[in-house]
Amino acid sequence: MWLNRDVISILDFNKEELLDLFSKAKLIESLKENNLKNLKGKILTTAFFEPSTRTRLSFQAAMLKLGGSTLDLGEPSISSLAKGENISDTIRMLDYYSDIIVIRHKLEGVSRYAAEICEHPVINAGEGTKEHPTQTMIDLYEVWKTFKSLENLTYAIIGDIKHARTISSLILSFSIFKPRKVYLVSPLELRAKEKIRSFMEFNGILYEELTTFSEVLEEADVFYVTRIQKERFSDPYEYEKVKGSYIITLEHIKRMKEGAIILHPLPRVDELSPKVDSSKNAAYFSQARGGLYLRMALLRAILTGE
């Protein structure tokens, strides 16, 4: 099911495969002292053509915990790319040195192309504004652990719906695990792209676009909060006007229903007040922690089939 699989889009996987992965991750998470060091001698290379700290470190930590080794391409500005080498040649070289390659690029289609030219499996660690399949696996894993199911839940997705690839990728997964309803909460300028809206309509995903989350506080099971970047606004005053509307505070938490959770792909800026961290609804640190186990399960499954 998993051996030598590429991970390019969340849509490359079905319900059965994803639930299998979550069970594997949960098993690893339950082992206090992991003795799964069966990736000894295997090399994972991270090639991040776009800045990333968390995702890169999380993949590297997952590989090291499984007994494998890691290589890193380094900053594109100091690697061979700076000398004018094309992406294709760079990826081919990495394929010769590695057993698995993790790629992030601002261009779209790079990881699919890399998978085509590489002998070894390729994992997309974020691409363009549409795909971030392993982050979505992590998001779903946290929801699955909390609700024991991924169907029929109500999501409030808050932030930059237009540009955040974590959001777009999560929305793609709603064609696999059908939610009850999805509220897309964003300033008008950052509403979902037409393509995402037609994807939801084509897949019969019930959704509603809102500019504030106040009216869904009592209804949503999962609040998926993301950062709103100032630079996305054509008018900085518009940003100043709306930024406060997308911050979750303890007052909001009080209105949330019992058992509702708040997720965030992190890093956060000010959209989640640190005071919220200790509330029982805050699941974003658990989500980040689970991310490590999810990625361990994924690497292990791809490299050993187990």
Partner 1 sequence: MSEKELRVTKIENGTVIDHIPAGRALDVIRILGITGKENYTVAILMNVESKKLGKKDLIKIENRVLEPREAQLISLVAPDATLNVISNFEVKEKYKLEPPETIEGLIRCPNELCITNKQDEPILPKLKVVKGSKIVLECIYCGAILTSEEITRFIL
**Residues forming the site for partner 1 (CB under 8 A):** 9, 86-88, 105-110, 112-113, 128, 130, 195
Round to whole Å and give the CA distance between 268 and 105. Answer: 21
Structure tokens at 197: 């809206």
> Which of residues 74 and 109 has its CB atom nearest to partner 1 in the complex?
109
> Which of residues 106 and 255 has its CB atom nearest to partner 1 in the complex?
106
> Which of residues 106 and 280 has its CB atom nearest to partner 1 in the complex?
106
Q: Contacts by 48-53 with C-beta closer than 8 Å and gap 24+?
A: 48/72, 48/73, 48/103, 48/104, 48/125, 49/73, 49/76, 49/81, 49/87, 49/103, 49/104, 49/105, 49/106, 49/110, 50/104, 50/105, 50/106, 50/126, 52/104, 52/125, 52/126
Q: What are phi and psi of 272, to 5 degrees?
A: -125, 115
> Which of residues 202 and 237 has its CB atom nearest to partner 1 in the complex?
202
CB of 64 to partner 1, least distance (A): 30
CB of 215 to partner 1, least distance (A): 33
Handedness of CA 131, 163, 137, 37 (dihedral sign): positive
CB of 116 to partner 1, least distance (A): 8
Q: What one-letter code names the amino acid at 227?
A: R
**Taking a C-beta distance cutoff of 8 angstroms, is the pair 230, 268 a contact?**
no
Q: What are phi and psi of 16, to 5 degrees?
A: -60, -45
> Which of residues 8 and 288 has its CB atom nearest to partner 1 in the complex?
8
> Which of residues 22 and 113 has its CB atom nearest to partner 1 in the complex?
113
Q: Give DSSP secondary structure letters for 196-237.
A: HHHHHHHTT--EEEES-SGGGTTT-SEEEE----GGG-SSHH
CB of 105 to partner 1, least distance (A): 8
**Taking a C-beta distance cutoff of 8 angstroms, is the pair 51, 79 a contact?**
no
CB of 110 to partner 1, least distance (A): 5
Give the number of C-alpha atoms closer than 13 A to the C-alpha of residue 38, restricted to the C-beta side.
13
Q: Shortest CA distance to 7 belongs to which of 118, 127, 141, 112?
A: 112
> Which of residues 22 and 49 has its CB atom nearest to partner 1 in the complex?
49
Residue 193 DSSP code: P
CB of 76 to partner 1, least distance (A): 14
> Which of residues 81 and 156 has its CB atom nearest to partner 1 in the complex?
81
CB of 129 to partner 1, least distance (A): 8
CB of 6 to partner 1, least distance (A): 13
